[in-house]
Structures are given as structure tokens and as C-alpha cells.
Amino acid sequence: MRSHTQEFEVLGPWSLTTSRAFWEGFTPAALPTQGLRDAEQLSTVFRVEADWSRAHATVSQHADHAQITVTGDGDLHAAAEQVRRFLSLDVDGRAWPDVAARDSIIADAQRRLPGLRPCGFHSPYEAAAWSVLSQRVRIVQAARLRDDIVSRHGDEGAFPSPRRLRMLELDLPGRKTEYLHSVAEAALDGALDTAALRATEPAHAAEAVQRIKGLGPFAAELVVLRGANAPDAVPRHERRLDDEVTERYGSTRSLAEVSAAWRPYRTWAAVHLRILREHRTQEIGGRNPPSDRSAGLSERGRHTVTSPPEPADDRQPRPPEG
């Protein structure tokens, strides 16, 4: 097994502590930390899109620089770049504070979640698989389904590769197995390639993803915005975000209107609002809302622990049967 280390400057605000807290609370457990309790590091295993090999990554922060170490038998340079992408470290965030200057609501979100960069799924492939598993079931149930697939058919904590997934006969509700096979085929055919999705206008990319059997509008947006981790797009099928905009901006203002001030970080702003909504309401996690002090939402951002938004609605419309 080989190892590769990459160190680079992160442009704009970033806190590994805050981002790690978001990561560890990410509901599907699609992004598991691997037993590393050092608060200064983050560790995970994932499938490398370039060759679908398994890789292990450890990330640490040194002032405004990040160090990524990946180990595995595949394309480790591609693996390191993939880590940068799913941690949003590939985005130039130097203008992110300017959004706060234009929008007091986002200014408050940035203050309460200092240095947060939205952590996405490891890949659009895994985001699409999660979308299938979470359709028409509670998120906690979907997480159990995913955990079972990983434990039975994965590779030391990594989700099964597309080639393996398309061959599996899984005992899942409804047509989930059929839809997972479609997702696997799409990944192998390049329809879920991160670079291609990021190079396409997000709405058009989502339309293309909807051609995959079993993925509707909500799932397609999840794949593009949280799988490919596109930083500047507005979710149009996330009712809890719509509700939060109404709560914070008033019933006379729409998401389309307020999000104009968020460019070129509309996805980031939306994620911040969803995190704060979940922290306040616990409508996904179902726990008693913690205080800002107990949740670690200090202005200095030390030991921050947050409750992230769910990566999919707890119940989604049934996708087309065709």
C-alpha cells in the first residue's frame, strides 16, 4: 500500500474543527470518521472516482494550510484532489465574508459557524446511492440500510464500488435494488463524473442526472450540490430551506430573491441556514435542541459541534417507475 501527502493553502476562511463537527453529524454515515479522536485531524475512507479503488485519508490544518495524506493502491493524486473537493477546500473562499456584508442573516450564520466549509458526499456516485436508499423511508432507517451494505459488501468501511454494487442482489424495500443497479451503471458510464457535473450549469447538470432511473428532482439536486459539491447553486426542491428562508427573511421574500446576494456561494449559504435550522428545531435528529453553549457555537469557533442538515428529505416523492 502506498502513501501520498499534499499540502496547500486554503484560500479564505476555514476551520477544520467546525467542518469536522459538521462531517461527524452528517446523517447518512456516508462519511464515516475512522476512529480518529484527535480534534486536530479528520480521517475517512472512500472510493476514488478515478479508478474506484479504496483510499484512506487523513486531513489536518496548519494555520491557513491543509495537509492531506492518502493511502491506498490506486490513483493517490486523484484521491487527494477528491478529498479537497468533498471538503470544499478546492473553492476560493476569499469573497465569502463579502456575502456577510450584503446579508445580515448570513453574517450571523458565519459568526455562529466560523470557518465552516460544507462537507459533501465522497462522490456523486455515493450521493446518488444515498438518494435511492433514503427514498420513502426515515433517514435513520436509510442510514441503517447503508451501514448494512457497507458491512456486508463494502471494503473496510468504504461503500461498494459500482462494479460490485451492480452485481449485488440486495434485500431492500421496493425497487431500491433496481435503482442502485442503475446508479452503479451510470457511475461506470461516466454519467456521475464530478468534473463533468461541476463544468455544467447546475440546473442542466441536475436535468442530466434525472435520466438515471430512480432519481427525481430532489435527488438530482443532491447529487449535483452535495455530491459534486458545486458551491454556487440554489436548491429548488428542499422544503426545509424554503421554510427557513420564510422564518428568517419573512413571508414576502422568496429563496430566489434572497439568494441573489449569496453569489458565488449560494450552496454554502443554503447549507449554513439548514445547519442552524436543524440546531434550533432538531426536526431531523429528534433530539432536544441544545443551547449555543452546549453545542459549542462560540464566536471563536473552538470545539464547535453542530447538527447538520439532512442530505435528503426524511421522505421523498416516489421517483418515476420507468
Mean pLDDT of 167-185: 97
Whether 123 shows a pLDDT value over 80: the answer reads yes
Mean pLDDT of 214-226: 96
pTM over 0.75: yes
28-41: per-residue pLDDT in tens?
A: 544 444 544 555 79
The CATH number, out of the four listed (3.40.190.10, 3.30.310.10, 3.90.650.10, 3.40.47.10), of the domain defined by the range 2-95: 3.30.310.10
In this predicted structure, what is the pLDDT of residue 285?
A: 62
Segments in the chain forming alpha helices (H): 16-24, 76-86, 96-102, 104-112, 124-133, 139-153, 162-165, 176-189, 194-198, 202-209, 217-222, 239-249, 255-258, 266-281
Mean pLDDT of 99-125: 97
